[in-house]
Structure 1
Amino acid sequence: MDKRYAFIGNDAVGDVVRERLDAAGWTRTDDVASAAMVVTYCTSQTALEDAYFDENGIVQAASPHTVLVDLSASTPSFARELNAVAIVSDLASIEAPLVVADPMQPDALSDRDNLMCLVGGEEDDVEAARPVLDALVGTVQETGGPGSAQLARAAYTLQTSAQIMSAIEADALYRAVQRSSAAFGATFGRAGATTPEAEQVLAAVNAGRFDGAYTVEMLMSELSAALMAADDVDLILPQAEACLHLLELLAV
């Protein structure tokens, strides 16, 4: 089995990919044409489209039978389009959007058990990509055919972002009441967490810990992908739009 691979995209995720695959006996190459497996992770749809479909992009550069494994959060329509182009080009395409179980963990990306991939694609192609996925993440969850993993990722993102927003707003309320009631000697503790995700967020906020490996840019890319997926079917998601706007302000 040819175990040469290339990585294109985000440096932080690239470091993790290179460390895990090198340890699993794969050999890095910067030449896409010589790679048996090409792994990508981009934090914008534009960058992802350029990486694959540019004049000198992966689809043009890859040799026949190369397996393309995309870890990015994108849309079901993009995943299906890439799969169709890959078939015509004699390539294999796998969508395997990365999921970080505890985004507040300082070493969120380096802890293999904190990472999961939702995997969609043709059955034979998924099987070909399985050794790479098993080396990268603790859990691989197959979802079905092309587009299915990105749809599942979008649903996961919407629920996670809602939990993060609600936890932060609840914490803000507690803090505001504590400040306004300080003169009366009232104590209210802290906001209670109703989900593990909320607990992780509140613990990080109360510790003042905002320098983890999982970044605002990554969450924004996942939420943007979910909103684009909704837009593709003419669906408006007000809560997600508000969350993305707040994240944009936070990034600024």
Structure 2
Amino acid sequence: MDERYAYIGHEIVGAMVKTRLAEAGYTCADSVARASIVITYCASQTALEDAYFDEDGIVQGAGPRTMLIDLSAATPSFARELNAVAMVSDLVAIEAPLVVADVTLSDAFSDRGNLMCLVAGEDKDVEAARPLLELLVGSVQTTGGSGSAQMARAAYTLQASAQIMAAVEADALYRSTQRSSSSLETAFGRAGAMTSEAEQVLSAVNEGRFEGTYTVEMLMAELSAALMAADDVDLILPQAEACLHLLELLAVIGGAGKAPSALALVYGEEAACAANGLDWTRAEQAYPSGEEDDYDLDDDEFPPGFGTYSAN
């Protein structure tokens, strides 16, 4: 396989890709047209569609038999569409959504063992892409035909986001009880974790680790893709929608670039938010009085669950 590649997309993932492939002797081409492999990772479905299908996008610019490897979380329907377009354009499409095991690490992408790809495509194409993918991640798991890897990614995302939210809210309950229990003469420890994922989040919250290379923006992209996949089959997922709303709030007040453990700050004191660079006045600007009708709230309230804002 020609070892010239091009990368398009998010800079954090791009830095990991370029470092690992450079160590393996791959050369980063200066354009899609000069590459035999194009690797993408976009943090929104819109950016991903633009990257591939714009007038000057990858599909138009890539040469015959170029291998397109997409690491993004997308919908199964997008994966199938890209595969169909690739086939008629004499290109090879591999869907390989990236999975980060411990999202709370300060550099979640530095350890190959913390990364996995779920991979779908034609068998011969998947096997051709496997050596490159194994340079990037510690585990490559094939899932079947076009769309299956993104479906598996969506299922993983729904479970992972639920565990993050459950851990954060359990911790918020313990902390709130500690602040108000002095008269009860009751000692409370920290919230217990039922899974390793919850333990990772709780440890990060208790240690005040709210920064990392895997960001709230990335989790929002993954959860949005999962919700779009559900919408494609007319399925409503209230828990996932509530989680996305909370992530959107955190992003509005300045937390898009923080680690998902920063969700705990939304449930804490305003001073702790400010100390971590979060500004609640941004929420006032983004959700001015009178625009809460979608949530059936009074003018002085914020959507349910956003306790810090309504309390301050």
Question: Conserved in 2, the CA contact under 8 Å of 1:67 and 1:128?
Answer: no
Q: Percent identity?
A: 75
* Alpha-carbon distance between aligned partners in 1 of 2:146 and 2:98, rounded to the nearest angstrom: 16
- Return structure 1 stretches of 4+ with deviation > 3 angstroms: none
Q: Partner residue of 1:136?
A: 136
Question: Could you tell me how far 1:130 is from its partner in structure 2?
Answer: 1.1
The 5 A counterparts of 1:137-152 are: 137-152=137-152
| CA offsets 1:68-123 (integer angstroms, 9 cap, x no match) | 00000000000000000000000000000000000011121111110000001111
Deviation sequence 1:133-180 (CA, Å, 0-9, x none): 011000000000100000000000000001011111111111111111
Is the partner of 1:149 in helix, strand or coil? helix
- The Cα shift of 1:183 comes to 3.3
- 1:52 aligns with 52
Other-structure match for 1:126: 126
User: Where does residue 266 of structure 2 map in the other structure?
Assistant: none
Give the C-alpha shift of residue 211 in structure 1.
0.5
C-alpha distance in structure 2 between counterparts of 1:55 and 1:223, whole Å: 28
1: CA distance between counterparts of 2:79 and 2:201?
31
Distance 2:197 2:179 in 1: 26
| 2:53 is the counterpart of 1:65 | no
After TM superposition, the structure 1 = structure 2 runs for residues 97-246 of structure 1, keeping only pairs within 5 Å, are: 97-246=97-246
SS of residue in 2 equivalent to 1:94: strand
Q: Distance in 1 between matches of 2:66 and 2:117?
A: 20
SS in 2 for 1:214: coil
Q: Shift in Å at residue 184 of structure 1?
A: 3.7
Letter in 1 for 2:190: R
Distance, in Å, in 2 between the alignment partners of 1:182 and 1:41 is 50
Matches of 1:189 and 1:251, distance apart in 2: 30
Which range moves more in the overlay, 177-186 or 212-221?
Answer: 177-186
* Inter-partner Cα distance in structure 2 for 1:131 and 1:140: 10
**Paired residue for 2:96?**
96
Alpha carbons 1:101, 1:114 under 8 Å: kept = yes
Q: Provide the rounded CA distance (Å) in 2 between the counterparts of 1:197 and 1:53.
A: 36
Q: TM-score, normalised by structure 2?
A: 0.80
Any unmatched runs of 5+ in structure 2?
253-312
Q: Distance in 2 between matches of 1:30 and 1:49?
A: 21
> Alignment RMSD, CA only?
0.7
Letter in 1 for 2:129: A
Q: Deviation per CA, 1:6-55, whole angstroms, max 9, x where unpaired? A: 00000000000000011111100121011010000000000000000000
SS of the aligned residue for 1:141 comes to strand
Letter in 1 for 2:156: Y
- Within 2, Cα distance between the matches of 1:54 and 1:63? 16
**Which fold has the larger relative contact order, with Cα–Cα distance below 8 Å and residues 6 or more apart in sequence?**
1
Alpha-carbon offset, residue 185 of structure 1: 3.5
Q: Do 1:230 and 1:237's aligned partners in 2 also have CA atoms closer than 8 Å?
A: yes
Determine the C-alpha separation between the residues in 2 that align with 1:168 and 1:131. Answer: 38
**Corresponding position of 1:18:** 18
In 1, distance between residues paired with 2:178 and 2:15?
A: 43
Within 1, Cα distance between the matches of 2:249 and 2:178?
26
Relative to structure 2, which stretch is displaced further, 206-215 or 146-155?
A: 206-215
Determine the C-alpha separation between the residues in 2 that align with 1:213 and 1:149.
Answer: 23
Q: Tell me the SS of whatever aligns to 1:40.
A: strand
Offset of 1:193 from its aligned partner? 0.2
Q: How many residues align?
A: 252
Amino acid at match of 1:96: A
